[in-house]
């Protein structure tokens, strides 16, 4: 590793983790630069979701280093702390608060003080209102602001979740299969949305949909069996014989 730590936004080195003897990650190393949009592909069980679990503090690695912004050790922090540091995460299955309205979902996600008493005595300010309106417009949900999230369509839930991540104002956004189950039109729009978002922050997208990855047109990392198989442009990676054998070819 010739790269210097301080430069990168996210830095993983030699990360391994195993569950009941099964090595989910095997000495994985991976770097994300500030402002970068990165796509990750790989077969099922390659360790994509586990990698996200480790970055967001859900799973502790058995060995290896994980640093954020150069010197913040993420392995010592829990989910909430990491989220407050500015790492947002979107789940594979859309996860929104179904018993809350779209508006409340965004209000909860808003990057404000999150302590017990701060929330207890929280009042919606004009500034916060504007911000929520803005995000609603971005994710095209203004019309449904007062509906329960449970009543949204699948695609709308995906977008609401992305909207919540925007409200969170993260510096790094981890997005797990954002277009699963979306129509083609929605998929294309999502790609535009993500590119737009990546202008102001780093985004890591995990996706199976090669067309979508191609649409994004960014650097691609291919994982397999818990470590990096290949990295580079989509064309470079999809022509790599190992990748073809492990993933694309099947």
CA quadruple 232, 238, 244, 247: dihedral positive or negative? positive
CB of 72 to other proteins, least distance (A): 15
Among 14, 23, 27, 108, binds other proteins (CB under 8 A): 108
CB of 234 to other proteins, least distance (A): 27
Decide if residue 181 touches other proteins (CB under 8 A).
Answer: no
Decide if residue 154 touches other proteins (CB under 8 A).
Answer: no
Among 1, 4, 71, 99, binds other proteins (CB under 8 A): 99
| Range 71-75 contact pairs with CB under 8 angstroms and sequence separation of 24 or more | 71/5, 71/6
Which of 6, 26, 19 has its CA nearest to residue 228?
Answer: 26
Decide if residue 185 touches other proteins (CB under 8 A).
Answer: no
Residue whose structure tokens are 């993500």: 194
Among 40, 109, 194, 220, binds other proteins (CB under 8 A): 109
CB 133 within 8 A of CB 183: no
- Give me the half-sphere count of Cα atoms (radius 13 Å) on the Cβ side of residue 123: 2
Determine the interface stretch with other proteins among 27-35, 64-72, 99-107, 230-238 (rule: CB under 8 A).
Answer: 99-107
CB of 205 to other proteins, least distance (A): 16
Per-residue DSSP letters for 17-72?
Answer: EEETTEEEEEEEEEEE-TT-EEEEE--TTSSHHHHHHHHTTSS--SEEEEEETTTE
Q: Are strands 37-41 and 219-224 parallel, antiparallel or unpaired?
A: parallel
DSSP bridge partners of 17: 25
Decide if residue 148 touches other proteins (CB under 8 A).
Answer: yes
Binding residue count for other proteins, defined by CB under 8 A: 46
CB of 19 to other proteins, least distance (A): 5
Other C-beta atoms within 10 Å of 200: how many? 11
Q: Pick the closer one to other proteins by CB: 2 or 44.
A: 44
Q: Pick the closer one to other proteins by CB: 37 or 87.
A: 87
Among 38, 48, 107, 198, binds other proteins (CB under 8 A): 107
Decide if residue 7 touches other proteins (CB under 8 A).
Answer: no
The DSSP element (H or E) to which 211 belongs, if any, is helix 210-216
The contact pattern for other proteins, residues 48-77, with x = CB under 8 A and - = no contact, is: -xx--x--x-xx------------------
Other C-beta atoms within 10 Å of 118: how many? 10
Among 13, 104, 171, 189, binds other proteins (CB under 8 A): 104
151's CB contacts (< 8 A; 6+ apart) are none
**Site residues for other proteins per CB under 8 A:** 19-20, 24, 49-50, 53, 56, 58-59, 78-80, 83-84, 88-89, 91-93, 95-101, 104, 107-109, 111, 114-116, 119-123, 143, 146-148, 151, 164, 168
């Amino acid at each position: 590793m010739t790269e210097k730590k301080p430069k990168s936004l996210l830095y993983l080195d030699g990360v391994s983790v195993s569950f009941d003897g099964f090595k989910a990650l095997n000495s994985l190393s991976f770097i994300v630069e500030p402002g970068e949009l990165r796509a990750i592909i790989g077969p099922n069980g390659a360790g994509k979701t586990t990698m996200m679990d480790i970055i967001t503090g859900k799973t502790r690695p058995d060995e290896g280093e994980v640093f954020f912004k150069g010197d913040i050790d993420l392995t010592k922090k829990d989910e909430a702390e990491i989220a407050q540091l500015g790492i947002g995460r979107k789940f594979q299955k859309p996860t929104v608060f179904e018993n809350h309205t779209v508006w409340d979902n965004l209000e909860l996600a808003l990057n404000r003080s999150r302590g017990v008493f701060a929330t207890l005595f929280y009042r919606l300010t004009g500034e916060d209102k504007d911000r929520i309106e803005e995000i609603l417009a971005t994710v095209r949900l203004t019309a449904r602001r007062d509906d329960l999230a449970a009543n949204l369509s699948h695609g709308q839930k995906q977008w609401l979740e992305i909207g919540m991540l925007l409200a969170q104002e993260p510096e790094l956004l981890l997005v797990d299969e954002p277009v699963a189950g979306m129509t083609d039109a929605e998929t294309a729009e999502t790609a535009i949305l993500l590119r737009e978002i990546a202008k102001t922050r780093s985004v890591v997208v995990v996706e199976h949909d090669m067309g979508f990855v191609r649409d994004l047109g960014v650097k691609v990392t291919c994982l397999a069996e818990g470590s990096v198989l290949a990295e580079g442009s989509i064309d470079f990676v999809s022509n790599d014989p190992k990748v073809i054998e492990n993933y694309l070819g099947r």
